[in-house]
Amino acid sequence: MPPDDFDLVVAINLKGVFNCTQAVVPAMIRQGGGVILNATSIVGIDGNIGQTNYIATKAGVIGMTKTWARELGRHNIRVNAVAPGFTATEILTSMPEKVLEAMKARTPLGRLGQPEDIANAYLFLASDEAGFISGDVLRVDGGIVIGT
């Protein structure tokens, strides 16, 4: 992998999350709290072949999520992340049907996630019902464990 490819993904996926959080935290502290929700991936937890740059950033987001939950909790700011699995989004439309079927077969629930599945996880974590959840990574992946 060329270093420029690695650096680009780090700049977007890792530094972008850092920059956004740095921008909103002062306002959240002033208002007495808030919720920060980060986007990671199951590959940031489990790893995957051929995605070193992407996995490094998503694992980094998990680390930042856990650290910020500890640092910002005293300001009534909760920080969590969502780790989607294979989800039926536009990016998968270019994949051959055979690959999509293999993804479904590796998912214990037997289907791809829907965008609504992921959105509902974010809605829950943003809600008062998740008021005592912080520093967690919610897998929304149909039960898949990569590599099994």
Which position among 39, 47, 54, 136 bears the catalytic label? 54
54 part of the active site: yes
Could you count the other beta carbons within 10 Å of the beta carbon of residue 121?
Answer: 21
Structure tokens at 116: 């609504």
Q: Are 38 and 61 in contact (CB under 8 A)?
A: yes
Output the DSSP codes for 115-128: HHHHHHHHHHHHSG
Name the residue among 101, 114, 102 with its Cα closest to residue 142: 114
| Catalytic (active-site) positions | 54
